[in-house]
Amino acid sequence: MEKRFFPLSAITKRINELLEPAISKQFWVKAEISTGRERGGAFYCDLVETDAGGKIVAKIACTIWQRELSTIKELFKARNMDLVLTNGTVVGFLCSLQFSPQYGLSLRVIDADPSIALGEMELKKREIIERLQREGLFETNKERFVPILPLRLGLVTSSGSAAYNDFIQTLTASGYGFKIYLADAMVQGDQTEKSVLRALDVFADLDVDLVFIVRGGGSKTDLYFLDNEAIARKIAAYPKPVWTGIGHEIDTSVLDYVANRTFKTPTAAAEELVARFVQMQRQLDEATNTLKTVWAYRLKIDQDYLTRAVTGIQQGPRKLLDVTASCLREQAQELRARVQGRLSTEQVGIGRRIEKLRSLPLALAKTHLERVAAKRQELSSGAMYRLTRTGDTLSSLTQRFDKERFLRRLATERDRNGKNRQQLRARFLTSLRIKSVMLSNLKGRFKEERVLQRITLARTSLNDKMATLKAIDPQTVLQRGFALLYSQQGSLVRSICDVAEQQTIHTRLADGTLISKVIAKEKHHE
């Protein structure tokens, strides 16, 4: 069979004829944007559909011409949204078919539904928040320590933006010495994630007390770029506290959930920081006023105390001397009375001792004489009794050791035991000699002359003791020509230092007492 070839234009013309009934129809399509690009005022991309595994199951080219693109952007602005046509964005487009022999079949976008884009953004945002919450990342940065007065600040925002100016002007107007490090970062657009992460990496290595991420207000789609999971995870694991001031008036950013603190605007974040310093300054002022008041009060108390102390120092010694002199006079009078009382008591005691010394030797001599006489009688009686007993014992022993009796005993023993008679006789004679010696000793021990000799020795010792007592008797000493000298108070004078000139003294002799006055004292030199 012969092959028939058709020109390509005929093929495309035929396709166009077949599609002509469908080209005029409009329909809504929900898909993701892929390989999107804007050129010459129009937007070109591919619309794709993926399955649960991310595999593309359908794909078709799509074009938004300049007029429709402007109309759609105005529609989104009226809903307080920006048209986001980035890769991966889910969109809802009103489309119609168009076919070109050069570019093939594609979809032409006529209109767009903002609720689709908004719903997809909110859905992604909610999924991110739920994942972060399940992993417990909401509290990690909130646990970072924030200094009471942070001065070294890290600022992540777009340089020269309204957020930057508001933040800087608020801190500058406060007059406090903040030191601000700026990390210029994009906070809107496709480069937001990369730019903010790089800025946070820079501040992680710097000595800053607090890091701020701020941006001004905008549409929901503008703020959508900061609802970023990678940035949120970075903040949750960040070693420094992070404060956010993102221009959400009625909404909350994903970053707000994981930040240490969050504020509606950059100005509010800066004002909170300034308020800390204002509060601290107010507390310092109050503390200063309190310190001044307390210091003045304490100073007045101390000044009054010093004034009283000076007066006391000036008047105290005189009063102390008067009181001391009065006390000394009272003590002197008391001492004088006590001395006089003691002297009187001692005089009475000395008189008693003198009388006792006079009578004691005689009493002792009489007692010793009575004891000697009793001892003599006791020794005499005992000796006579011992002599009588000893005589009886000797008589008994003489009868017991009679010679005839022993001879009879020997004869009897000789008859009983002829073999040992010589031995028994020798033993008996030995025993007889020993007992005879003992008897002689007892007779010598209890001789009357020896007893009388011991009585004589006891009497001599007693006479010697009586002579000694008589020799030390003060009356005997006075009779030998000595005298006892007493002061006017009755104390015994042992040295010339114990009396003064013109003082009355009492001299006691054997037969009386002389009262005289000391005219002069003369010391003997050895």
| Predicted local distance difference test score (pLDDT) of residue 8 | 82
| Predicted local distance difference test score (pLDDT) of residue 443 | 59
| Predicted local distance difference test score (pLDDT) of residue 153 | 92
| Predicted local distance difference test score (pLDDT) of residue 388 | 79
Are 155 and 212 a contacting pair, CB within 8 Å?
A: yes
| Predicted local distance difference test score (pLDDT) of residue 95 | 92
| Predicted local distance difference test score (pLDDT) of residue 36 | 86
For the chain (length 526 residues), average pLDDT per consecutive 10? 78 81 84 87 89 82 91 81 75 88 87 72 74 87 88 88 87 88 82 86 88 76 71 89 78 81 87 89 90 90 88 81 87 90 87 79 78 81 79 71 66 62 65 70 60 69 69 66 76 78 80 82 69
| Predicted local distance difference test score (pLDDT) of residue 401 | 62
| Predicted local distance difference test score (pLDDT) of residue 416 | 66
| Predicted local distance difference test score (pLDDT) of residue 64 | 92
Task: Provide the Cα torsion 200, 202, 207, 209; round to 10°.
Answer: -20
| Predicted local distance difference test score (pLDDT) of residue 211 | 92
| Predicted local distance difference test score (pLDDT) of residue 174 | 86
Sheet holding 179-184, edge to edge: 179-184, 152-157, 210-217, 242-247, 261-263
What distance in Å separates the CA atoms of residue 265 and residue 216, rounded to the nearest whole number?
A: 7
| Predicted local distance difference test score (pLDDT) of residue 449 | 63
| Predicted local distance difference test score (pLDDT) of residue 420 | 59
Beta strands per DSSP E along 185-294:
210-217, 242-247, 261-263
- CA-to-CA separations, 417 to 403, 408, 420, 425, 505, in angstroms, rounded: 21, 14, 6, 12, 103
